[in-house]
């Protein structure tokens, strides 16, 4: 429990909600009817607004249940810790909206946890450029990790689930472009700033350091500020990855 409570607040809450909803639905206590993204029901005369959230909170079955939660917690925590207070919340809203429009609106997918995790993976890979990580038994540059996972998804589940996962990468890259790449290298303005009330809600410390609800931390430099000669380091978490960890996902399956 200490590991859970020391995690950043947004990903801690998101992981808990995913655990509860998935456990209830996979155990049969709650019907799967309430989970899929269905625009016709969301925009009906009695709108089912909860369907804007529930498609992001359903894991796969059995082994995928554990791995989906692990990937969400690991990558999401790593991403949230590199952002300013409250920024991860804005990032999550932006990515979720992008995935909903592309995976749900354009591709007709019903579940979005997998592309959401891929968005976290992409952000993790960008903030850890120059390092290496272990994928199965092979050490690869961390920046290639999301594409290695996409290839695994395509091989094990087919092209449509992989295409759905790509929408998560596109959404995360778009956020990175609008908030870091374009303002830093293009001289543009960042319009996706964190509202003051959101920042105050998550923390009351100064912009560089202070106390958070999940520990005392100093703000990590943005990727553009980090030295290019980052040291290579292998990590063991991705050795958990296996073909089964991406099976049984609902993201690429159509109903009916």
Tens-place pLDDT, residues 197-214: 998 888 754 344 343 444
Cα separation, 14 vs 69, whole angstroms: 10
The verdict on residue 36 lying in a domain is yes
Range of the domain at 148: 9-205
pLDDT at 160: 96
The verdict on residue 224 lying in a domain is no
The verdict on residue 24 lying in a domain is yes
| Residue 67 pLDDT greater than 50, yes or no | yes
Question: How much is the pTM?
Answer: 0.79
Of residues 110, 60, 12, the one with CA closest to residue 242 = 60
Q: To which H or E segment does residue 156 belong?
A: helix 145-157
The verdict on residue 216 lying in a domain is no
Q: Helices 159-176 and 113-127: crossing angle, nearest 10°?
A: 50
Residue with the two structure tokens 């049984």: 248
CATH number, residue 65? 1.20.1540.10
Of residues 35, 49, 10, 9, the one with CA closest to residue 249 = 35
The verdict on residue 27 lying in a domain is yes
Which band of pLDDT confidence, cut at 50, 70 and 90, is reported for residue 10?
very high
| Residue 247 pLDDT greater than 70, yes or no | no
Structurally, the chain folds into a number of domains equal to 1
| Residue 228 pLDDT greater than 80, yes or no | no
DSSP 58-102: ---SHHHHHHHHHHHHHHHHHHHHTS-TTHHHHHHHHHHHHHIII
pLDDT at 1: 64
The verdict on residue 239 lying in a domain is no
pLDDT at 233: 34
The verdict on residue 174 lying in a domain is yes
Would you say 194 and 90 are in contact if contact means Cβ atoms under 8 Å apart? yes
The verdict on residue 121 lying in a domain is yes
| Residue 62 pLDDT greater than 80, yes or no | yes
Return the half-sphere exposure (C-beta side, CA atoms, 13 A cut-off) of residue 247.
7
């Amino acid at each position: 429990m200490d590991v859970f409570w020391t995690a950043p607040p947004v990903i801690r809450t998101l992981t808990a909600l995913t655990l509860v909803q998935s456990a209830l639905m996979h155990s049969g206590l709650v019907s799967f009817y309430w989970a899929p993204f269905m625009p016709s029901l969301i925009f009906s005369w009695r709108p089912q607004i909860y369907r804007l959230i529930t498609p992001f909170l359903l894991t796969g079955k059995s082994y995928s249940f554990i791995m989906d939660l692990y990937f969400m917690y690991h990558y999401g925590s790593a991403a949230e810790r590199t952002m300013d207070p409250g920024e991860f919340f804005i990032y999550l809203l932006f990515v979720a909206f992008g995935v909903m429009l592309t995976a749900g609106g354009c591709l007709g997918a019903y579940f979005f946890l997998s592309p959401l995790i891929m968005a976290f993976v992409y952000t993790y890979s960008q903030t850890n450029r120059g390092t290496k990580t272990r994928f199965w038994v092979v050490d690869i540059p961390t920046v290639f990790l999301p594409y290695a996972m996409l290839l695994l998804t395509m091989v094990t589940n087919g092209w449509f689930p992989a295409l759905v996962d790509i929408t998560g990468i596109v959404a995360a890259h778009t956020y990175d472009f609008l908030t870091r790449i374009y303002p830093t290298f293009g001289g543009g303005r960042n319009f996706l700033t964190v509202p003051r009330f959101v920042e105050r809600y998550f923390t009351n410390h100064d912009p560089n350091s202070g106390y958070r609800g999940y520990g005392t931390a100093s703000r990590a430099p943005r990727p553009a500020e980090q030295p290019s000669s980052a040291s290579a380091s292998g990590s063991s978490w991705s050795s958990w990855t296996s073909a089964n960890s991406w099976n049984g996902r609902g993201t690429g399956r159509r109903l009916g």
